[in-house]
Amino acid sequence: MEYKELEILWKQYDEKLDNLEKINKKLLKNTLLQKPQKKLNWLEFNSLFGVIALPIIILVALHSDFNFKTENIDWKFISGFALTLIVLLYLCVENLRSYLILKRIDLSSDPVIQSLGKITKLKKIANNFSKSVFLYYPVAFLGVILIGWNSFVFTTNTILFLSIFFVVSYYFNIWCAGKHKERIKKLEKDIIELKGYTEE
């Protein structure tokens, strides 16, 4: 009789310990999910911002700075418009691709391997961004210069200002592309750390 009672008590304690272990694991998992989820939300916001806000900002900037008169529309304007449009389409498509991948990542329910597969696709896009920034930014800058060619008065100060602005903004865009890659690598690292807590 005593042995059976002890056996019943042991099973009850064992079940309680199992339940406590599951609760602790769930709490730890939820805590660990907060950091990568914030990074995921930030990357998602940046991608969506690139899709929606970038074209609007460029249109507003060009419209307010340059006179869009019929007499200003020549081969330079058309060439500049074409170059700017090509770069804008490229950036919007890549940002949209990133956003759609990020939107499909669900850290709370996706297995780690599945999430890492999506992150790998994201890393490829980020690598393309960091390589192509060396080309697309000068092309976009040239496009904007050509669009506003007839509005510029090319004095020494204007040329100096445009040169300094190009160098600073070029460096800034390269730095941003590098930071974007770094954020994705950190997100990947955080997701790898979730293994053992998200998968039973």
Q: What is the rounded distance in angstroms from the CA atom of residue 175 to the CA atom of residue 173? A: 5
The candidate with the shortest Cα–Cα distance to 74, out of 149, 141, 139, is: 149
Pick the residue with more confidence: 84 or 13?
A: 84
64-99 pLDDT, tens per residue?
555 556 666 788 888 988 999 999 999 999 999 999
Predicted pLDDT at 166: 93
Confidence check: pLDDT of 155 > 80: yes
How many percent of the chain have pLDDT more than 70?
A: 76
Distance between terminal CA atoms of the chain? 37
Q: Which residue has the higher pLDDT, 167 or 108?
A: 167
Per the model's pLDDT, the better-predicted residue between 176 and 1 turns out to be: 176
In the prediction, which pLDDT does 26 show? 66
Model confidence at 38: pLDDT above 70 = yes
pLDDT in tens, 133-153: 999 999 999 998 888 887 778
Most confident of 17-21, 179-183, 188-192: 179-183
Torsion sign (Cα): 98, 101, 106, 110: negative
Q: Region 173-180: what's the mean pLDDT?
A: 91
d(CA 129, CA 123): 10
Structure tokens at 144: 């904007």
Q: Which residue has the higher pLDDT, 175 or 195?
A: 175
Q: What is the pLDDT of residues 158-173, one digit of tens each?
A: 889 999 999 999 999 9
pLDDT-derived band of residue 22, with 50, 70 and 90 as boundaries?
A: low
The full set of domain ranges for the chain reads 38-193
- Output 28 or 98, whichever has higher pLDDT: 98
